Every structure is written in structure tokens, then in C-alpha cells.
Amino acid sequence: MIYSLNGTVIHTEQNFAVIECGGVGYKCLTTLNTLRNLPKVGEKAMLYTHMIVREDAVELCGFAEKSELNCFRLLTSISGVGAKVAVAILSELSPEKLALAVSSGNIKAFTKANGVGNKIAQRIILELKDKVKNIIPSGSTAISNTDSLPPVDSGNISKAIGALAVLGYSPDEVTPFMTGIDPQLPVEKIIGETLKAIGKKG
């Protein structure tokens, strides 16, 4: 399994990028979000990858952020969601927007992606939302005795923790990374700041 590629960007198109490593160009199916974050052709870049092996082909998918890779793996674990559909969804939705769309049951957010109809959108929300059921006990008070950590029962923090559970993070995992985050920020912003903090730690 190829975990990541670190090399030179030699070509990009609408849904893929080619990264040259050791004289070999690796074509990576990728999202518009990752393409927007890639440096120019001729410059160095690193992508986290996921290899898909089928009877008739081997495909490599690449992502600028681990959180996007995690979302891709979650999406492709759902029946009826292949690599191209997952990439289309993540081209429309960043990881934090995807988590928020699932936790709020926003079908329209998914149907904006090419190839995603109501049935697939409903299936994605149903299967991923199951991951957050009862993840946050009702009446939770504080997540820590540390004053700098916001209380779980402050609305947007609670929603952000629930949404992050969609991405596979438990409350115990994410709350330490919420140190200093303003609980009055929009949920999407809290999710984004938390994911950035997790990425830096990793």
C-alpha cells in the first residue's frame, strides 16, 4: 500500500494530478479541493494516498489533507459509493462541511455532487449518522477540568463534536484539540479549527 507521495507536480487536470517521484509519474484521482491547494506544475507537493485494486485496473487516489482521505475511505465503505462518486462529493464538500451535512441530515448538500441522487445521499446520511448516535450523552457538563477547554453543553461545541464523530473521532479524541477555540464560532469553523489542530499533531 502506498501511504503518500512526495515529489514534483508535473501535470494536473480537472479530476487528477500527476506527482513525479524518483522519475516515475503517479496519476492520482483527486478532488477539486486538493487541486486548488496544490502548488504549481514544477513545484514540490505531498499527497496522502489510497490505492484501489480491481480486476481490470489499479487506481491511486490522492488528497492534500488526512481528513479528506479519512472522508474518502468512509464514503467508499458505503454500498453504491465508488471512488469517483466519493471524489465528486469531496469536490463539493470539505471534510468539515461533509460532517456538518451528515449530522444535520442535509440531503441537498450531497446531491450537488455529480452522480449523487437522493437515494445515495439518503444512504450516506443514514449510514454515517449511525456513527454519531448517542455519541454525546445528554446533559454532559464539562469535557475537562481545564479552564481553557469549552464545555460540551455549549451548543456549537456539542454539534461540532457530534459532526466530528462522523469522521471517526470520539469526543475524548477531539476535545483536547479544542483548547482555546471560541464556542461562539460557527460549527463549521470549530470543526475546521479542530481538524487543523489534529493534522498538526499527526
Please write the tens of the pLDDT for every residue from 32-65. 999 999 999 999 999 999 999 888 888 999 999 8
Q: Is the dihedral of CA 165, 122, 30, 5 positive or negative?
A: positive
Does 56 lie in the same domain as 84? Answer: no
Q: What is the DSSP letter of 107?
A: H
* Residue where a domain terminates, one of 131, 157, 176: 131
Does 83 lie in the same domain as 124? Answer: yes
Domain carrying residue 19: 4-63
In a domain, 13, yes or no: yes
Does 72 lie in the same domain as 47? Answer: no
Tally the domains of the chain. 2
pLDDT (0 to 100) of residue 154: 56
Give the whole-angstrom CA distance, residue 28 versus residue 21.
13
* Residue where a domain terminates, one of 34, 63, 92: 63
In a domain, 190, yes or no: no
pLDDT of 136 above 60: no
Q: Please state the pTM of the whole predicted model.
A: 0.76
pLDDT of 184 above 90: no
The Cβ-side half-sphere exposure at 148, using a 13 Å CA radius, reads: 6
In a domain, 17, yes or no: yes
**Residue at grid coordinates 493534522:** 199
Rounded mean pLDDT of the chain?
84
What's the N-to-C CA distance of the chain in angstroms?
19
Residue 38 neighbours by CB distance under 10 Å: 18
Give the whole-angstrom CA distance, residue 19 versus residue 30.
12
